[in-house]
Structure 1
Amino acid sequence: MNTTPQGNEQHSSHIPALATLINLGWTFLPATECMALRGSQREVVMKPVLERVLRQRKFEFKGQWYPLSEQAVDQVIREVTTPSMAQGLMEANQSVYDMLTLGITVTEFIGGKKAQPTIHLIDWQNLDNNEFHVTEEMDVLSTQGTQTRRPDVVAFVNGIPLAVIEAKKAASGNPNKNMVEEGISQHLRNQKNDEVPYLYAFAQLLFAISRNDGRYGTTHTPLKFWSKWTDEEFDDRHVQGIKNQPLSASDKNALFQNKPPKIRAYFEQLWSQSLVRAHCGASPCTQDGPTKMKAPHSF
């Protein structure tokens, strides 16, 4: 088996980044499973996941704790999944940000008495009460329904797509073409009105990565303001430990599902020889890329 490092996107960026995210606590969903949970290419929120999380939420009223009613669950899902795009993408993104950070107020009736609890989409106090998923090659239908865009990696918290990653190959063959900037350009293109702005109404972190180079921004961040990710909490030894942690058999089965057997064989050989970390050591998932998301502790 030839374990010479490969330069294409799957070998040098996609799979190393996904493997690192899995080791950080994210659950990998094959594109087909993600699509089933989304319902269609137009939808970007995995509503069944969000509903499952909301059904576990409780609110306090007069010293007692109560689960959300069906009406409250429906209200929260409806508000989250229908940010108004009428005032533009930035307003929609701000609306989602406010819901993520402040929660959504619902009306409940307990014993005939009115309660108006604020329901948090993310449990910031106990992160174990949240669900973290990541998928790849997620098809999203454009606004006019004429084409699809396919972000390389999308990370979800409680079914909401909060991070979008463009993972590029090591080099284009053109010395004047920077692959990270190519990834940023794709993000900026995809945010246009006739592209897939609905996805970027939810996304709170955007990454463009290529081998040991990576930058991040937010919705509508111009190219020149995309920044290197820095993290004072993770040192190199901690990152190396994450990278070198073996994937479980179930994680590998999910990650390589529907991929050519030779791709799995390539990585199995690398991992078995502990070469993958040397191969991936200069990859985006090690230094300035998704590793720094600290998932699931980053959100």
Structure 2
Amino acid sequence: MSERKPYKTDVSDEQWALVEPVIAAWKAAHPSVSGHQGRYEMREIVNALLYQGRTGCQWELLPHDFPPPGAVKYYFYTWRDDGIDQTIHDLLRWQVREMARRKADPSLVVLDTQSVHAAAGVPAGSTGRDAAKKVPGRKRGLAVDVLGLVIAVVVVAASAHENAVGIALLDKVAADTDAVEKALVDQGFKNAVVAHGEKVGIEVEVVERNPAQTGFVPQAKRWVVERAYGILMLHRRLVRDYEHLPRSSESRVYWAMTAVILRRLTGATVPAWRTA
């Protein structure tokens, strides 16, 4: 890495050692026609992506001591399209689960959605209005395990029904692993999701809220997905949806969770924004 003053979002040597093999393998599989090895250090590209995710800055406002915005943008989109973002995330997630003495893939997941406002430049065709939450923008759907680690993510227009998100999440979970046997959902998901779960071999249980309870009351096992959304909100690029394509929004979630998982694996911490 070039000599510069480090940012708090930079990966440490220990963290980079966990990520580098995947990127090195990708580089080896995509050699330059001219044989050029590339002008920019891949570690600095990753540092720039994690910095942007945490701070929420625009491409052109990335600090000058990172590689040029055009180069960072190129790798973000290329890794998104090649699935490298999810590959890195999933390999690290498996390590966290193994550290917790669990199998690589879970048998139970929790599904939920979150609607966020879309930025002004986001194409109207990929956004909508969540009628229940009164939010114009996009809707994120997460499937997480009992540790709060992301198993699947889906981003659609906020106007999409919970059923559509739930079905898409179940499809992704079933495609990525055959270990998941059960999914917990809230009452926003209807019978269509339960029926689709049967088709893909996943039992879907609708967890009903106790009518005697008022206000926010965490529900057993389901609370982990709420915590996951709270963690994502610490990454300012995710507080509002700035991405033109929903797939880019999904990639932002993977990179944000990769940063979280790297800290868990190495015992590192990052001060909260309110820390003086």
TM-score between both structures, scaled by the size of structure 1: 0.26
- Larger CA Rg, structure 1 vs 2: 1
For normalisation by structure 2, the TM-score amounts to: 0.28
Structure with more of its chain in helix, by fraction: 2
